[in-house]
Amino acid sequence: MSPPTVDNAGLGEPLLANGKGATALANGTRHGDAGAVPTLRRKKKGSKEETYWVDIDQPDVLESAPDLENGSGGRPLLLFRNKKVKRRILYPYRILILARLIAVILFFIWRLKNNISDIIWLWGMSVAGDVWFGFSWLLNQLPKVNPIKSIPDLGALKKTCDLGEGRSSLPGIDVFVTTANPIDEPILYTMNCILSILAVDYPVDKNACYLSDDAGALVNYEALVETAKFATLWVPFCRKYCIEPRAPESYFELKAQSYICSSLEDFITDHKYVHRKYDEFKMQIEMLPDTIQERSDTYNNIHINASFMADGTQWPGTWIEPTENHKKGHHASIVQIIVNQPSHTPQHGLPVCANETVDFSTTDVRLPMLVYVSREKHPSYDHQKKAGAMNVQLRVSALLSNAPFIINFDCDHYINNSQSFRAAVCFMLDPREGENTAFVQFPQRFDNVDPTDRYCNHNRVFFDGTMLALNGLQGPSYLGTGCMFRRIALYGIGSPRRRADGVTTRTNIFGNSTSFLRSMLSPDQEQEMSLKLNEMAISELVDVMACAYEVCTGWGKDVGWIYNIATEDIATGFRAHRQGWCSKFCTIKPDAFRGTAPINLTERLLQIMRWSGGSLELFFSHSNPLFARGWLHPIQRVAYLNMTIYPITSIFIVVYGLCPMMWLLPGEFDIQRPFTRYVLYVIMIILMIHIIGVFEIKWAGITWMDWWRNEQFFMIGATSAYPTAVLYMLVKLVTGKGIQFRITSKQTSANTNDKFADLYVFRWVPLLIPTTLVFAVNVGAIGVALGKVILLNGSWTAVQMRHAILGLIFNIWVMALLYPFALAMLGKRGKRPIILFIVLPLAFVTVGVTYCAIQYFLL
C-alpha cells in the first residue's frame, strides 16, 4: 500500500511516513512531541489496470517435481504467477486486428483497380508507401495478440531460499555499472547509482558491484572511494529504517519520506544527521577536480605534469594534462577493490557514543564488494564502446566473484525498489522455466521528465505495451539497462533444453586466460573473493583487461555483448533467443529502477537516431532476424524483424508530409481518384488503428496522453532521426564505414533553478531540416488554401470545396502530430503554448495574403 500523504506540509522539515501507513509530520510539532497526530489523506487502493487482467490457473508448487529437502518442505514452489488479459478485452481486440487487416487488403485491391491519378509516378509511390505501412503495422501488431503479465512471488522466494538464522541460499549477483566520462555523465548520478546498489535488500555477501570507468579518470576513482566512505553511514541507515528509494539524491528530494521504526524522534535525529553528511559528501564530490588539480600541482615539477592519487603515486589512467600513455583512448588497465568481500555472518555496528552519532547496534553494517575497473586502451585497437567495457567487466568479475547472475545499469539509473533483485531472481530460480531463462528485463522509468512528457521519454506504449506483449512469446528483447542476465547465456552457450552436452571451453573462442576458462566450468559457484587476489597473480586480471585479449577470439560475436552494432543490447538479446533461451518482463511497484532521460529535443532525437541506426545495422548484419538460424518462435522472429526495419517507414512518411506542396501549384492535382473515396478509406483505416489503441491502453495500463505522445513523437522521429539513420546506413553499405554516434549527454547547460529548463532550449542540428520542411509545407498549404478561397470565391464547385476540406484535414493532422516540435522551435516562449496558437493563424494569414499578391501581379 502506498503511504498516505499529509496536507499543508512545511518546507523546513521532512514529511515522514512509517511502514504501517501512519505518517508523522515534524513541521508544527517539536521533535520530542512524538504524540502529535497529523491530518491524513489516504490514497485509494488498487490499480485500474488490474481490472483488465485475470490470473491463469496454476498450482502453488510444481506438481511434476519430486519432493525437496529444503525450507519449502516439499515440492518446489512456483516463484512467479502469470496473468492474461480478460476475454472481454482480448477477444474484441483480436477481432479488430483481423478486421483492420482485411480492410487494408481490400484498400490495396481498390487502389490497384482504380489506378487513376494526375501524377502517375506519385500514385505508384503512394501505393508502395501504403503497402509498406500495412506491412510494418502487421509486424508491429502480430506479437501483441497474446500479452502475458508475470508477477514475482517474493513470499515464495523467501520460503524457498531462507535457511534460517540469517542465512540464505540466494544466488550471487554481480552488478555492472558503466560510465563513459565524467563530463557527459555527471559523477553525482554515478555515485548515487552505486549507493543504491550497495544498499539493496539482498544478502551482502552475495552482491558485488563493478564500476567500469571508460575514461580512466582519477576523479571517478576518488569519487568512488568517497562513496564507499559515505556508504558506511548511508547503507546501515537504509537497513535500519527500511528507506525507499535507496539513492540519497532521490530520497531526500521526496516530499514524503518513508520509514519503519518505533521511535519517530530517533528517526528525525538520524535523518537530519545523514542528510547533513550527504550534503557534505556532495560538496566533496564537487570539489574533487580542484582537489586533484591542487594536489597534482604540488607534486609536479618542470619535467612532468602527471595526475597524482591521494597517497602521492602517479595515476595510471588519464591525466589532467594529457600525455602519451595517459590520455583518453591510451592508458593502462586499472582494477582496484575499494571494498573487500564481506564475511558471511552479520556484523552489527556500535551504539551511540562519543564517536558514533547513529545507533547501529542492531543493524548489519557490512557493505557488498565494490570494485573499480578501467580497461586498457590503445590507439591501435577498436575498443567497441559500451559493449567492450562490459565484456571486460564480465571477465574481471569471473575472476573475482563469478556470480551466476549479472545486472547491468547505465550510470544515470538507480535502484528505486530495494526488492528488485529478489524479484528478478524469482524468474531465474522458478522450477518451470527458470533454468532456460537468459535474462529478466525491467521497464525503464525516469525522474526528470516534464509532467506532460512532451518528447515521449517515458515511452510507455513500448515498455508497457510491446514488451509486455512479448512476454507471451519467448520474452522481451534486452534493452541495455535494468536487466538481469544469466552469466552462462552471456558466454554464448545455448539453453539447457537445446544443449546436448556440457560447457566446453576453447581458447580460440574465450581467450587464453586459464583462470577465466576455469571459472566457466563452475558458473553457478562464486569464487572466494577475500582470498582471490592473494592466490592469483595480478597478471591474470591485467591479461583479461588487455586490448589484445579478444584478438582472434569469439568475443563480440559469439561471446559477450555483440560488437559493431550501435544497439548491442538488442543484438545480444537476439542471440540468446535464437540459442533457445527465453526471457521475462518484470514490472513491480514501486518501479524497480529509475533514471535520467534527455528532455532536450535535440539530445532526444540524437538518442533516437543512434537507436534506429543500430536497428538497421542489426538488419544488415549476421544477426538478421529474417534469415538467422536458431530456435526462434515464428512470431518472436516477426517482432525482431519489426525492431530492425521500422526506420524505413520514415521515407514514405516524409514523402506524404511534403505532398501538400501541390497546393502551391495553380491547378488541382489528385494522388488518387475518386479522391473523396480515397481519403475516406484512409481515414477509416487510421481510425481503426486508434480503436485498437483503446484496447491496448486498457490492458497495458497506460493513458491516452501516453498514446498520443507516442504518435506525436513517432512523427517527429520519422521526419528527422529515422531518415538520417537510413541515410547513414546507406553510406555504410556503400563505403563500409561504420556509423559514429556520440553518447547522449546527461549534463545540462540550462538554468539549474528550473528543473525542466533544458526542455526549452532549442539547439539546431541538420537532422531537424526535414521536420522543419514538413511543418513549413503544411503551414504554407493552409495559407495557400486560404488565399485560393479569397481569389476563387464563388467559382469553386462543391467537389473542389470538398477536396479542399479533406486536404486541410490532412494538414491539420500533420501539424497536430508535430505540435511538440513547434513548441520546441519557440524556445523559452514554448512555456506558454498559447503563443503558438497566436503565431500560427498569423502565419496562415501572411502566407494567404502573399499568395494573393503574387497571383495578382502574375495575372
Residues assigned a catalytic role: 214, 569
Q: Give the neighbor-by-neighbor strand order of the sheet with 148-152.
A: 53-55, 80-85, 148-152
Phi, psi of 157 (to 5 degrees): -65, -40
Grid cell listed for 379 = 590507439
User: What CA–CA distance (Å, rounded) separates 203 from 239?
Assistant: 12
| Residues 605, 821 contacting (CB under 8 angstroms) | no
Tabulate helix, strand, coil % of the chain (nearest 5).
50, 10, 40
- Written as one letter, the residue type at 716 is I
User: What CA–CA distance (Å, rounded) separates 741 from 568?
Assistant: 13
The 3-state DSSP class for residue 8 equals: coil
User: What CA–CA distance (Å, rounded) separates 521 from 93?
Assistant: 48
User: What CA–CA distance (Å, rounded) separates 348 from 708?
Assistant: 53
Grid cell listed for 847 = 502566407
Q: How many CB atoms lie within 10 A of CB 622?
A: 11
DSSP alpha helix (H) spans, 208-354: 218-241, 248-253, 264-299
Give the distance from CA 47 to its chain's centroid: 24
Instruction: Please spell the DSSP secondary structure of 390-449, one letter per residue.
Output: HHHHHHHHHHHT--SEEEEEETT-EESSTTHHHHHHHHHH-TTTGGGEEEEEPPP-BSS-
What lies within 8 Å, CB to CB, of 690 at 6+ separation is none
Q: Where are the beta strands (DSSP E) in 99-181?
A: 148-152, 162-164, 167-168, 173-179
User: Phi/psi class of residue 211: alpha, beta or left (left: φ > 0; alpha: ψ in -120 to 50)?
Assistant: beta
Helix (H) / strand (E) element for 849: namely: helix 834-858
User: What CA–CA distance (Å, rounded) separates 617 from 623?
Assistant: 9
Instruction: Please spell the DSSP secondary structure of 158-189, one letter per residue.
Output: HHHHEEETTEE-PPPEEEEEEES-TTTS-HHH
